[in-house]
Amino acid sequence: MTFIIIGGGVVGLSVAYGLLKNGQDVVVLDGADDDFRASRGNFGLVWVQGKGADCVGYSQWTRRSAALWADFAQEIEDLTGLDLMLRQTGGMEYFTDQVELEEHIAKLKGLREASGGDYPFEVLDQKELRERVPEIGPKVIGATFCPEDGHVNPLFLLKALSCAVRQKGGIIRTGVKVVDVSGQEGEFKVALEDGNHLSGEKVVLSAGLGAMELGPKLGFSTPIRPQQGQILVTEKLPAFLHYPSGTLRQVNEGGVQIGASKSELGLDDTEDTETIAQLARHAIDVFPHLEKVKMVRSWAALRIMSPDGLPIYQRSPTHPGATFITCHSGITLAAAHAHLLPDWILGRAEAQDLSTFSERRFDV
């Protein structure tokens, strides 16, 4: 079968790689450099802690992906010779506010209960935390630690996935915008902005925010929206931060990455100094020595959000053979998308039941 994959971000490439491993032919079509591209502006966490508090199925899916990540990274590294800088050391969430700490602990306890007791985390008071992370400031009252959390270099991941797809025989065409798509299993037609056309037997729509325009052409409701996140990075520092957190991580080159804000601004990916200052203040509250450190770069990027924040995996009700895939944690879920999702896309009996993530859950 030849799959046309519309969108070559981390989601499209993870799925493309998985399909190639399953003996399928793949052509990835990826748009222009000025498209919104979450895969190039994200925080790089492979994160479990707290995810799926309202949907245990999402928590399980996330944990399965995190558990698959080490093998996935190894496989890609062996194939391409590129180190993804995956570190699954466990992750901390730092708290300066008692109410927020208690709410987070309650969330993790709820997840543990919903998981039949199998949900590892620790609550650390200030003293216990200081033993593990001596650099924390006096405003930090405690932290929670989850051994399943980690981080990766998301740009290395993207580059390595492109190489892996090509090495497995996949075709990636960049700088091509899909303007129309029609047909059904065995006879899909894709029209490109440059006037060219392509045919394929199946289609995967993984175009991030670009799916808002293309989804309805394939019978999807694509209920997604942009959510802005801003991130800043310090100059390179000696390694001190051994555990990533939801808001702070030291990247492999040494800079401390601080983020990410959450704002509902539509398709606006411009930064503002107020948000950046807030992020910097939080970082200094947690690690006061960062006050003397230079900030060297900041950016904003847009998340792809469904109404409940969960992924959408949907087969087209009107165009059999077309699948829509989107999520707001494409780095964390890359391993599941490469190793597990192809079985579901190919309609195999052994595939995980992903009906929890159907877009029909938003039907009223």
DSSP letter at 98 equals H
Spatial contact of 39 and 294, defined as CB atoms under 8 Å apart: no
Spatial contact of 161 and 17, defined as CB atoms under 8 Å apart: yes
Spatial contact of 324 and 211, defined as CB atoms under 8 Å apart: yes
Closest to ligand FAD by CB, 111 vs 327, is: 327
| ∠ Cα 228 232 236 (to 5°) | 155
Decide if residue 12 touches ligand FAD (CB under 6 A).
yes
Closest to ligand FAD by CB, 32 vs 296, is: 32
Site for ligand FAD in 194-213 (CB under 6 A): 206-208, 210
Decide if residue 8 touches ligand FAD (CB under 6 A).
yes
Smallest gap, in angstroms, from Cβ of residue 173 to ligand FAD? Answer: 9
Site for ligand FAD in 98-127 (CB under 6 A): none
Strand-by-strand arrangement of the 178-182 sheet: 178-182, 188-192, 197-200
Closest to ligand FAD by CB, 207 vs 283, is: 207
Decide if residue 92 touches ligand FAD (CB under 6 A).
no
Site for ligand FAD in 30-49 (CB under 6 A): 30-31, 35-39, 41-45, 47
Q: For tokens 């991580």, what's the residue? A: 249
Give the binding-site size for ligand FAD (rule: CB under 6 A). Answer: 42
Q: Which of 269, 183, 285, 274 is nearest to 228 (CA)?
A: 269
Smallest gap, in angstroms, from Cβ of residue 158 to ligand FAD? Answer: 8
Burial letters for 168-186: b for 16+ Cβ neighbours within 10 Å, e otherwise? eebebeeebbbeebebbee
Site for ligand FAD in 245-274 (CB under 6 A): 260
Give burial (CB, 10 Å; 0-12/13-18/19+) of 196.
exposed
Smallest gap, in angstroms, from Cβ of residue 134 to ligand FAD? Answer: 25
Decide if residue 302 touches ligand FAD (CB under 6 A).
yes
Smallest gap, in angstroms, from Cβ of residue 161 to ligand FAD? Answer: 10
Smallest gap, in angstroms, from Cβ of residue 95 to ligand FAD? Answer: 19
Decide if residue 311 touches ligand FAD (CB under 6 A).
no
Decide if residue 64 touches ligand FAD (CB under 6 A).
no
Query: Tokens in use for 25?
Result: 């032919």
Decide if residue 29 touches ligand FAD (CB under 6 A).
yes
Rounded Cα distance between 295 and 256, Å, is 9
Decide if residue 303 touches ligand FAD (CB under 6 A).
yes
Give burial (CB, 10 Å; 0-12/13-18/19+) of 337.
buried
Closest to ligand FAD by CB, 35 vs 201, is: 35
Closest to ligand FAD by CB, 45 vs 108, is: 45
| Cα atoms in the 13 Å half-sphere on the side-chain side of 298 | 22
Residues at the contact surface with ligand FAD, assessed by CB under 6 A:
6-12, 29-31, 35-39, 41-45, 47, 177-178, 206-208, 210, 214, 229, 231, 260, 301-304, 326-332
